[in-house]
Chain A
Amino acid sequence: MRRPIRIPELGGARAVILHRPHPTVQALLRQLTAIGLEVVQCWPELGADAMGADYVFFDADMGHDGMFPWPAGQPPMPMIALIGSEAPGRIEWSLRAGSHAQLLKPVGDNGAYSALLIARDAFDAQKALSAEIADLKRRLEGRQTVVRAVTLLAARGKTEEQAYAQLRQMAMAWRISFEDAAARIVASRDGTPAGQEGSLDG
């Protein structure tokens, strides 16, 4: 399911253009200023202050991993590739660098606004997906613990179904996730978690 696009607040947002001085930089600077962003140009690499930028435009033609002050491919903000040479190796590199949108050089009178919106949307979508995947992974890893916890509870004379329901009840009472509750039960070995003796029994 696709979430609705959010039009980002661009007034006063900070953009960094990582590109050598060039008419393309001038044209992009004009577009971004007209849109209402504050723009800084730098070359040959991003300074630490780029960490505070809201958007990074980078040269895909002369680019290399060392240009960015973050681990390769993990930018903390949306990135837009400025592509001149459409050579497959360069496209591959700019994708690996983590670009969320692109603008073809020479940059002229337009394109920056849609690149900003598309990059922001792709960045947000990626972040949301990563968070969701991390959560699912954690829950998947907890599956074995859940089975053990249910077995432990069932060993005290309950059916599997009753044990499962009890575990769910405990998680709700403790206000933690189902998987975390299972981990607590397993940690207390005999199925009665430390400090909770009998509190939810019966």
Chain B
Amino acid sequence: MTKRRIEIGLLYSRSGSYSLISEACRSGALAAIAELNADPGIDLSFVAVERDPEGNVDLYGPLCDEILSETSARHVIGCVTSWSRKEVIPTLERHGGTLWYAVPYEGFEASDHVVYTHACPNQHLLPLLDWVIPTHGGKAYLTGSNYIWGWEMNRLARERIVRAGGTILGERYLPIGSRDVGRMIEEIRYARPDFILNSLIGPSSYEFLAAYRELGRQDDHFAPSRCPVLSCNMTECELPAIGMAAEGMVAAGPYFRGIEGWPGKGRFGSSHEAAAYVAVRELARLLSHRPGAEAMSLSQLLAEAGTDGGIIDPETHHTVLPAIIARVEGGAFRLVHRRDGVAGDPYLTRSAQSPVPPQLRVVSS
């Protein structure tokens, strides 16, 4: 079969504070591209057009523009932070391009120019809170990096925890890249919460986890089995940077290594890798055996393809994922709890929300 050569953009930072996640996404996308290009049964091959914003948020817009105006690519796989995603959306609108976003995010977005292949809060944060409150109690301490991911995750967590009868003992933020976690740790030492929701990213998160492990050594209350650190963005791709300090951390996500279910076949290093792989495979499915489809906008592509066999919800551009909760034990994630077939609900308007019993009370007083 003759293969149509189709250029697609890759927009991942190969340096900077979240490069481990970028690299995981990038390798998932490249693996899917290699697989497709070697498949004689499919009538296309992808040519990756790469740009590297080096972790600088102001380079995403211009580099995305470069991909869409200097090459024939209409689809870009990329972006890690929500901040960078928001930066490229106007560029995508201008060019009729599409971003395939393969990272968990805070929801409240459904752009006509973005496909969201990783989880939004009803697929990560809400199942995690539904699990932790009955298991560990309702007294929470919230941390986050100082940008929309941390702010919005903590706003939503506060709303849900309070509604479930819990309390917020503290909430503190650090600038992206900052390692200044001392004050957070001191506050936690005195507040003695039941759990900590960690929405820090990169080095801030690594530093925090190391300092918290030290706190756990000094005071039993902060042993991970008693007062765990929770995360909605932590995957295997960052474990090497954290080492032993990751032990006992509880994370939510659609995939953890060794836990079967999604995305069907294949073994992936992390859910970031899996979600980027899925993005490229789904793009290929939409373009294959449809000459000329590579020039269409996402809405045209979806309208003409119908929903048969596709994974993208035509209204929200989100996907159905398992909500898996897993704990780090011996350097790997072990299954704690799972809920299958959770459809992405970015505005929290579609699904019956929060099965946490309303009469729930904090156990200790």
Query: A109-B89, A110-B111 known; A34 and B316 CB under 8 Å?
Result: yes
- Residue B173 lies at the interface, judged by CB distance under 8 Å to chain A: no
Q: How large is the interface on A (under 10, 10 to 19, 20 to 34, 35 or more residues)?
A: 10 to 19
**Within the complex, which residue of A31, A36, A108 is in contact with B93, where a contact is CB–CB below 8 Å?**
A108
- Residue B183 lies at the interface, judged by CB distance under 8 Å to chain A: no
Contact B347 A36 (CB under 8 A): yes
Within A1-53, which residues are at the interface with B (CB < 8 Å)? 7, 9-12, 27, 30-31, 33-37
Contact B113 A109 (CB under 8 A): yes
- Residue B83 lies at the interface, judged by CB distance under 8 Å to chain A: no
Tell me whether chain A's interface is mostly helix, strand or loop, or mixed.
Answer: loop
A110 to B346, CA, bound (A): 14
Contact B112 A30 (CB under 8 A): yes
Binary contact track B17-56/A, C-beta < 8 Å → 1, others 0: 0000000000000000000000000000000000000000
- Closest residue of B by beta carbon distance from A30: B112
Contact B350 A34 (CB under 8 A): no
Binary contact track A140-156/B, C-beta < 8 Å → 1, others 0: 00000000000000000
- Residue A113 lies at the interface, judged by CB distance under 8 Å to chain B: yes
Complex interface: chain A residues within 8 A of B348 (CB): 11
Binary contact track B94-119/A, C-beta < 8 Å → 1, others 0: 00000000000000101111000000
Contact B112 A35 (CB under 8 A): no
Query: A108-B93, A109-B93 known; A11 and B112 CB under 8 Å?
Result: no
Complex interface: chain A residues within 8 A of B317 (CB): 34
Tell me whether chain B's interface is mostly helix, strand or loop, or mixed.
Answer: loop
Contact B93 A34 (CB under 8 A): no
Contact A10 B349 (CB under 8 A): yes
- Closest residue of A by beta carbon distance from B313: A34
- Closest residue of A by beta carbon distance from B156: A7
- Closest residue of A by beta carbon distance from B347: A35
Complex interface: chain A residues within 8 A of B299 (CB): 30
Query: A10-B347, A11-B349, A12-B349 known; A35 and B110 CB under 8 Å?
Result: yes
- Residue B70 lies at the interface, judged by CB distance under 8 Å to chain A: no
Within B295-333, which residues are at the interface with A (CB < 8 Å)? 299, 315-317
Question: What's the least CB distance linking B88 to chain A, in Å?
Answer: 12
A30 to B297, CA, bound (A): 15
Complex interface: chain A residues within 8 A of B93 (CB): 108-109
Query: A10-B347, A11-B350, A36-B347 known; A113 and B108 CB under 8 Å?
Result: yes
Could you list 6 examples of A-B contacts with CB < 8 Å?
A10-B349, A11-B350, A31-B110, A34-B110, A108-B93, A109-B89
Which 10 residue pairs spanning A and B have beta carbons closest together?
A36-B349, A11-B349, A34-B110, A35-B347, A10-B349, A109-B112, A34-B316, A34-B315, A109-B111, A109-B93
* Chain B interfacial positions (CB closer than 8 Å to A): 89, 93, 108, 110-113, 159, 299, 315-317, 346-350
* Chain A interfacial positions (CB closer than 8 Å to B): 7, 9-12, 27, 30-31, 33-37, 108-110, 113
